Amino acid sequence: MNVTCKLIRVCKRFVSTETNCQDGAKWIEPIGYQTAVSVYNPITKCKVPLILKTENVLKWYMCGPTVYDSAHIGHAATYIKSDIIRRILSNYFNIDILLVMGITDIDDKIIKCSIESGKDFKTLSKHFETEFYADMNKLNIGEPYLYCRVTDYIPQIIHFVEELLTRNYGYITKDGSVYFDTNKYNKYGKLKTSVHDVVKSQHPDKKSALDFALWKAAKNNEPSWRCPWGYGRPGWHIECSAIASAVFGNSVDIHSGGIDLAFPHHENEEAQSCCYHNVNQWVNYWLHCGHLNLKGDVKMSKSLKNTISIQNYLEEYSANHLRMLCLLSHYRNDIEFSDEVMQNAVLVTQKFDNFINDCDNYVVGKFETGDIDENLLFTTLYDTRNKVYSALADDFNTSKAIHAIINLIGIGNKMLYQSNITPHSKGISAVAAVSNYVSSTLSKLGISRSTMSTAENQQIKDIIDCFLNFRMTIRNRALEQNPKDTILLKECDNVRMNLSTYGIVVKDQQSVTNWSWK
């Protein structure tokens, strides 16, 4: 047994005595196939090994949107963080991800918006569902294996509730609603240190304040479905349990969502699913992403009317900038959104872009400077590769990984812009290897260099090259004149500034000109 496993097992024994569950409920290490990854466990409060029941196959359920309004960047951050983790598991650890996302297309908020707008709830939810898919595509978030609408799983949900009633884990109230009896499940409270201060909704017939709705009785002319105990619609928590159970059965490897979903949503899912499947543990690993808050630690919320829609965000920043913001922070940490914070993400993104472009220009002979220590650069690349892999294996620590790459870029830039005083190898292969590594790593993490096709991108580059070669000829001729032709030089400067407004950075180095995207 290695030191890591020993520490993990000691941590588990220690934490299990501290877990505030009603019957000392603790995390059960799955039986299956070890991976090279460790993840933070909110039950044990420490990192544990990621073990899969099926070799190289991971069953993952993710809570999706409630489609009654446009998604905002707070939602986007959670989905981007999850997408990054998914890409890490696939691209670095060769794990096939079966990702299922639930789409809540019927609930109180949808009904309220439907009444206020005068639109049928199906029309309303379908509109925002379609908009959500488009937003995710703009943010380069990969599609799940399945999108599952709640209204498509009503029969499975009714059957789920029936089983819980049959096993005496639920009870029917006078109005025909069905509630889960938390007192009948002695492991309630796995994901929450204290469960006695978070209950908001009340019902006169509830046996306990902690009991939660499995099925809500129909009111007035609300949308409803027929079931053995009358007409109604699903409660919030039962939706995800029924959908995930229908696809994955009695065991889910990973279940994810925002940190605000840990309690009561995920706690209630785990409770009712364990009772339905008659197991002690339904989800093996819970992943909770930190919030994207406004300055001053203010939560971005539709109810507070302080949200920034994805569409509005993309008018000022790019999808890459928001993803870089997420990469620079650990997925479990909250992020403060502000112009200052975004500018840092923009600058880091530009640092990567400029370095890759400079490397490309150096390799094709467009740099006048450059003193490459090939051995040092290859050694640094090797060390960086190991640091990145280790960081990503350690609870997906993208912040540590990105800073390791930034350090590599710093060393590479110093060599690229160093004057060649002593005889030295041009080190083209080393520069190309580093550029390729940085570019491929960004791609693996979901940073896209261009939304254009390869042919379109190359055509635009050729046009820019052609124009800047002409400008370089004019500029060099103007510099050779005695006295220098200040009029032509000023026009060359004007061209450089004008191109900058279109995102093209022109760099003049003595008699050579190169360029990069801003």
Please give the chain's pLDDT, 518 residues, in tens: 343 343 333 333 333 323 334 445 589 999 999 999 999 999 999 999 999 999 999 999 999 999 999 999 999 999 999 999 999 999 999 999 999 999 999 999 999 999 999 999 999 999 999 999 999 999 999 999 999 999 999 999 999 999 999 999 999 999 999 999 999 999 999 887 554 445 555 678 899 999 999 999 998 889 999 999 999 999 999 999 999 999 999 999 999 999 999 999 999 999 999 999 999 999 999 999 999 998 877 778 776 778 899 999 999 999 999 999 999 999 999 999 999 999 999 999 999 999 999 999 999 888 878 889 999 999 999 999 999 999 999 999 999 999 999 999 999 999 999 876 554 568 999 999 999 999 999 999 999 875 444 565 677 888 988 999 999 999 999 999 989 999 999 999 999 999 988 888 898 887 888 888 76
Q: Token match 């002979």: residue?
A: 365
* Phi, psi values for residue 450, rounded to 5°: -160, 145
Structure tokens at 359: 């490397």
CA distance 126 to 364: 51
Tally of residues, the chain: 518
CA distance 204 to 175: 10
Give pLDDT, residue 25: 58
DSSP 514: E
Closest CA to 403 of 449, 343, 351: 351
CA distance 453 to 426: 32
* CB neighbour list of residue 48: distance below 8 Å, 6 or more residues apart: 8, 11, 12, 27, 29, 38, 39, 41, 285
Q: Are 61 and 261 in contact (CB under 8 A)?
A: no
Strand pairing report for 33-41 and 46-52: antiparallel
Q: Token match 């990145």: residue?
A: 388
Q: Are 434 and 358 in contact (CB under 8 A)?
A: no
CA distance 61 to 137: 19
- Quote the Cα angle for 106-107-112, to 5°: 105
Helical spans, DSSP H, in 394-427: 398-416
Compute the 3-state secondary structure of the chain and give helix, strand, coil in percent, each to the nearest 5.
50, 20, 35
Residues β-bridged to residue 504: 517
CA atoms within 13 A on the CB side of 433: 16
Give pLDDT, residue 422: 52
User: For the chain, first and last CA: distance in Å?
Assistant: 50
Handedness of CA 341, 347, 349, 352 (dihedral sign): negative
Phi-psi region of 152 (alpha: psi -120 to 50; beta: other; left: phi over 0): alpha
Q: Are 113 and 289 in contact (CB under 8 A)?
A: no
Stretch (H or E) spanning 442:
helix 428-444
Give pLDDT, residue 17: 29
Tally Cβ neighbours within 10 Å of residue 484: 11
CA distance 499 to 508: 13
CA distance 427 to 1: 43
CA distance 457 to 448: 13
Give pLDDT, residue 2: 40
Give pLDDT, residue 235: 95
Give pLDDT, residue 200: 54
